[in-house]
Amino acid sequence: MNPKDSKENEKVHTDFKEKMTYGEYLQLGDLLSSQTRLSSHHDEMLFIIIHQVSELWMKLILHELRAAIDNIRKGDIQEAFKMLARVSNIQNQIIQAWDVLSTLTPAEYIEFRDSLGQASGFQSYQYRMVEFALGYKTPHVLKIYEKDPALHKELKEAFEAPSIYDAAIEKLAEAGFAINPDVLAREYTEIYHADPSVEAAWSKVYKNVDQYWDLYQLAEKLVDIEDHLQQWRFRHMKTVERIIGHKKGTGGSSGVGYLKKVLDHRFFPELWDVRTSL
């Protein structure tokens, strides 16, 4: 052994009787004991971990989106940019997870699929809150969570809160753009639909980038997030089709048919339409 290496090793902390360890800080005991298979099939571990990891990433997405919304509404748009860029990079991680799950073959999945009962990714409450934060408000999904009053209350609050696009449109109005008063006064619980006044405002932003640099950057960050979300949805749909074909989902949805349908929804429609009109 190199004498220098020996001296370096002497500096490494090894006595943790009175100190916090890495595992304790991350609560690895709880985290790594949460993968409980309901079947004896080897690949159920893959299925559980992929979905748990995705839920952890969604927790961070929500953390960043909520902070970004608060900062935009307070006028600290620059503070929100790093958060939104981070969301896009997290989305890349979730998209790539489908490549790992797609190593699960149909013959392998049917060996443990019945163990799931009616449990389904369709019921992911964090995914619903991500949709709410982006402005896709579907009231019927709240019924799924009535079993847990505390969770239902949290979801209802997220459902009634302004989305990041609501915050962006407010900034357009504050910048002096003539936004339709009905858009500004709309209930946050309504699914947003494109409005000519909002498209006109974004068009002016894109035609005068130097004058509206912050709004221009905000628009591009939002396009990044929607682009990545649609990629995630597409990879989800194709992975499901690859593994179960066109069977119904375990939660009762139409499976691939449902996933194809949601691909048509646009979160920030004017930001896409303006590219044609410019």
Q: CB count, 10 Å around CB of 149?
A: 9
Other CB atoms within 10 A of residue 49 CB: 15
**Is 236 annotated among the ligand-binding residues?**
yes
Q: Is 113 annotated as a binding residue?
A: yes
Q: Is 105 annotated as a binding residue?
A: no
User: Any binding-site annotation on 140?
Assistant: no
Question: Distance between CA 120 and CA 190 in Å, rounded?
Answer: 26
Closest alpha carbon to 76 in 214, 255, 251: 214
pLDDT of residue 114: 87
Most confident listed range (111-120, 226-235, 236-245): 226-235
Is 51 labeled as ligand-binding? yes
Q: Residue holding tokens 């290496």?
A: 5
Tell me if 35 sits within 8 A of 48, measured CB to CB.
yes
Separation between Cα atoms, residue 278 and residue 274, nearest integer Å:
6
CA 135 to each of CA 97, 138, 224, 248, 263: distance values in angstroms, whole numbers, following the listed order: 25, 10, 15, 27, 15
> Position 221: which residue type?
K
Residue 250, annotated as binding a ligand:
yes
pLDDT digits 0-9 by tens, 125-142:
999 999 999 999 988 889
Provide the token pair at 9: 């090793």
Residue 1 has pLDDT above 60, yes or no: no
Residue 21 annotated as lining a ligand binding site: no
Q: Is 48 annotated as a binding residue?
A: yes
Domains of the chain and any CATH numbers: 42-106+124-276 (1.20.58.480)
Query: What is the pTM for the complete model shown?
Result: 0.90
Cβ–Cβ under 8 Å, residues 262 and 128: no
Q: Give the separation between CA 194 and CA 269, rounded to whole angstroms.
A: 6
Q: Which two tokens stand for residue 158?
A: 């997220």
Q: Which long-range contacts (CB under 8 A, 24 or more apart) does 231-235 make?
A: 231/91, 231/95, 232/91, 232/94, 232/95, 232/98, 233/259, 233/262, 233/263, 234/263, 235/95, 235/98, 235/99
- 149-197 residue pLDDT tens: 999 999 999 999 999 999 999 999 999 999 999 999 999 999 899 999 9
Q: Is 188 helix (H, G, I), strand (E, B) or coil?
A: coil
